[in-house]
Amino acid sequence: MVIEREGAVMRVVFDAGAGLNVMTQGLLGELGSLFAGLPADVGAIVLSAAPGRGFIVGGDLRELASMTADDAERLARVGAGVFDAVLTCPRPVVAAIGGDALGAGFLLALAADVRVAVPGARLGYPEIRVGLMPGTGGTDLLVRLTGLATARRLCLTGEPVPATRCQELGLVDEVCASAELERRAMGWATTLEALDATAFAETKAALWAAASEGLERSREREVEAFRRCFESPGHRERIRRFFTRDE
């Protein structure tokens, strides 16, 4: 995993060095540490991969083959915490999918706020084909994002889905040529980073609460978030600029 900076945008580049990118326990730990301690001056994060490595094509089957059931349960719990940290990150997260995003790679992409993919990329959960299932929050998140019928088809068949079809399903926000991928992903990141940070974080949290909690609790969270936006000085300055921009 290589970390690069372009102004306020942090680029996280997956590069196995040889072969395709897989989600090893080591990489999972690196991601967890990264999202647990993001520098204060990071305004947005772009997740991408070195050319020819795939985005992340799944978990490390060699590691999985050596695990006991207890090991697997620990991995599932730790992994769910890592992916939840990406999902609930208060800063914008953009996934630039230049190759297959499968298994843990699909879940990582789903945890991002925006997904940009090349036409040849395939996305999905192939775990059932090796006698497993998504075990780190993947089934739950997919159902919440796309509904039970689509989630059932992807999880129970294990069939990867082309990026163009994922766009139709609402699982990919934009499909673009490979030569445009990084530029488009950075465009999304800089656009979102320029928004008021408090308003973005509160809106993102309220949306997830609406998807994952009951109506009464999520409505109360929305009211609390709305108040916090008013307590932040950012919105007053932006309203002032709105009324003075043509003067």
Residues 53-101: pLDDT tens digits? 999 999 999 999 999 999 999 999 999 999 999 999 999 999 999 999 9
- pLDDT at position 245 is 65
78 and 92: one domain? yes
- pLDDT at position 212 is 87
Cβ(86)–Cβ(111) below 8 Å: yes
183 and 231: one domain? no
Cα separation of 51 and 158, whole Å? 25
| Neighbour count for residue 8 (Cβ, 10 Å) | 14
215 and 119: one domain? no
96 and 212: one domain? no
- pLDDT at position 103 is 97
Let me know how many helices (H) and strands (E) the chain has, helices first.
Answer: 11, 9
109 and 201: one domain? no
Domain that holds residue 78: 2-193
Q: How many CA atoms lie within 13 A of 2 on its CB side?
A: 10
- pLDDT at position 247 is 53
166 and 225: one domain? no
Q: If you search the block for the tokens 């992807």, which residue do you land on?
A: 154
The total of structural domains in the chain comes to 2
181 and 108: one domain? yes
Cβ(163)–Cβ(118) below 8 Å: yes
The angle subtended at Cα 142 by Cα 140 and Cα 143, nearest 5°, is 65
Domain ends where: 151, 175, 193? 193
The DSSP result for 48-111, as a single string, is: EE-TTS-SB--B-HHHHHT--HHHHHHHHHHHHHHHHHHHT-SS-EEEEE-S-EETHHHHHHHH
113 and 152: one domain? yes
91 and 123: one domain? yes
Tell me which residues of the chain have a pLDDT lower than 70. 245-247
Provide Rg for the chain, Cα atoms: 19
148 and 203: one domain? no
111 and 52: one domain? yes
Q: If you search the block for the tokens 């909690």, which residue do you land on?
A: 213
| pTM > 0.85 | yes
